[in-house]
């Protein structure tokens, strides 16, 4: 009897430890992500994100070249030691001037999916580019990631953030949820109070994520508008930006990749 009890304890302990293993996600607005990106630039991007488990990408070109760029990035990642898969959303239902796609790329070893994700059509009339969500299963535990790119700062992104907050309030769930993207609003602003009231926290605080066109006294960072919000069923281990610029001399070439830094969150599921 003692041996059986000990065996059961060890099995439960192993399950608990496994469920607490760290996982990481990167959210990145890759400006004009399509055929303008060279093979060399795509390989540089792969080096930047290779250590993450999930990558959420905004601003994938809706027309020809966007899906191909995502596929090439995934192929480059597959050449670096881990197996990756990817999904690309349908074009967002907006005018040709702002429509785009979203993408997810992830390591398949411990992460599975059961569908290919959906745009949140309920928000179509309230946002310019409706969010794209995908349910991941991390060692069997469900994790929903919502990928979003808001309208520009001078076109009321606050209205879109409020709409997403209302959506999450109405569609409450007990499983872990991540909202990642480019919000065009600093997380310190009052508009995020609703999300925080729902129990969401941020990967980063007071960290600028966009790149200037030039250096100002060795400073090349501009606005703090990209972030990752995570629900209270997620435990943050580390949050940061990934600064692939490093010094002013690299700014011009760095901006060819994107004018945004990736945001990184390492976490465990409760």
Q: Quick check: is 200 in a domain?
A: yes
- Work out the average pLDDT over 92-104: 89
DSSP class of residue 257? T
Q: Quick check: is 124 in a domain?
A: yes
Total of domains in the chain: 1
Strand partners, 266: 24, 238
Q: Quick check: is 10 in a domain?
A: no
CA distances from 85 to 58, 128, 134, 190, 217 (A): 17, 28, 13, 37, 41
- Work out the average pLDDT over 69-90: 97
Is this structure's pTM higher than 0.85? yes
CATH code where residue 37 lies: 3.60.10.10
Percent of the chain with pLDDT over 90: 87
What is the per-residue pLDDT for 110? 94
**CA atoms of 239 and 196, how far apart (whole Å):** 17
The tokens of 177 are what? 């949820």
**Is the pLDDT reported for residue 138 higher than 50?**
yes
- How far from chain centre, in Å, is Cα 258? 15
What is the per-residue pLDDT for 18? 42
| Ramachandran category for residue 240: left, alpha or beta (phi over 0 → left; psi -120 to 50 → alpha) | beta
Q: What is the mean pLDDT of the chain?
A: 93
pLDDT tens, 179-204? 999 999 999 999 999 999 999 999 99
What is the per-residue pLDDT for 268? 98
pLDDT tens, 118-131? 999 999 999 999 99
Listed in sequence order, the residues at least 6 apart from 2 whose beta carbon sits closer than 8 Å to its beta carbon are none
CB 53 within 8 Å of CB 24: yes
Q: Quick check: is 46 in a domain?
A: yes
**Is the pLDDT reported for residue 102 higher than 90?**
yes
What is the per-residue pLDDT for 174? 87
DSSP3 helix / strand / coil % (the chain, rounded to 5): 30, 35, 40
Q: Quick check: is 59 in a domain?
A: yes
pLDDT tens, 18-37? 446 899 999 999 999 999 99
DSSP class of residue 111? E
What is the per-residue pLDDT for 257? 98
Give the ranges where the chain is alpha helix by DSSP (H): 2-19, 39-49, 66-78, 157-170, 193-197, 251-254
Listed in sequence order, the residues at least 6 apart from 181 whose beta carbon sits closer than 8 Å to its beta carbon are 27, 29, 56, 58, 131, 146, 147, 148, 149, 150, 226, 227
Number of Cβ atoms within 10 Å of the Cβ of 163: 18
CB 210 within 8 Å of CB 183: no
CB 254 within 8 Å of CB 212: no
Q: Quick check: is 8 in a domain?
A: no
Q: Quick check: is 13 in a domain?
A: no
What is the per-residue pLDDT for 12? 45
Helix (H, G, I), strand (E, B) or coil at 7: helix
- Burial annotation 34-46 (CB, 10 A radius, 16+ → b, else e): beebeeebbbbbb
Select from 18, 48, 14, 4 the least CA-distant residue to 30: 48
Range of the structural domain that residue 169 is part of: 23-269
Q: How confident is the model at residue 156 (pLDDT cuts 50, 70, 90)?
A: very high
What is the per-residue pLDDT for 173? 86
Report CA torsion sign: 211, 189, 177, 129: negative
What is the per-residue pLDDT for 217? 86
What is the per-residue pLDDT for 20? 65
Q: Quick check: is 28 in a domain?
A: yes
CB 66 within 8 Å of CB 38: no
């Amino acid at each position: 009897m003692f041996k059986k009890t000990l065996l059961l304890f060890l099995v439960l302990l192993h399950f608990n430890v496994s469920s607490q293993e760290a996982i990481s996600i990167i959210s990145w607005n890759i400006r004009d992500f399509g055929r303008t990106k060279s093979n060399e630039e795509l390989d540089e991007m792969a080096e930047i994100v290779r250590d993450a488990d999930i990558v959420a990408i905004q601003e994938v070109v809706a027309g020809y070249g966007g899906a191909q760029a995502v596929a090439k990035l995934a192929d480059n990642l597959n050449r670096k030691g881990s197996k990756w898969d990817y999904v690309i959303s349908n074009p967002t239902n907006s005018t040709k001037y702002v429509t785009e796609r979203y993408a997810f790329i992830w390591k398949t070893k411990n992460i599975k999916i059961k569908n290919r994700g959906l745009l949140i059509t309920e928000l179509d009339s309230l946002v310019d580019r409706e969010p794209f969500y995908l349910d991941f299963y991390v060692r069997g535990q469900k994790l929903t990631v919502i990928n979003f790119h808001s309208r520009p700062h001078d076109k009321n992104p606050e209205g879109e953030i409020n709409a997403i907050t209302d959506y999450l309030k109405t569609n409450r769930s007990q499983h872990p949820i991540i909202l990642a993207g480019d919000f065009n609003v600093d997380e310190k602003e009052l508009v995020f109070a609703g999300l925080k009231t729902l129990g969401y926290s941020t990967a980063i605080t007071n960290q600028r994520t966009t790149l200037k066109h030039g250096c100002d006294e060795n400073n090349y960072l501009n606005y703090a508008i990209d972030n990752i919000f995570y629900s209270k069923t997620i435990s943050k281990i580390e949050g940061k930006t990934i600064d692939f610029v490093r010094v002013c001399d690299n700014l011009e070439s760095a901006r060819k990749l994107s004018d945004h830094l990736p945001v990184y969150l390492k976490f465990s599921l409760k």
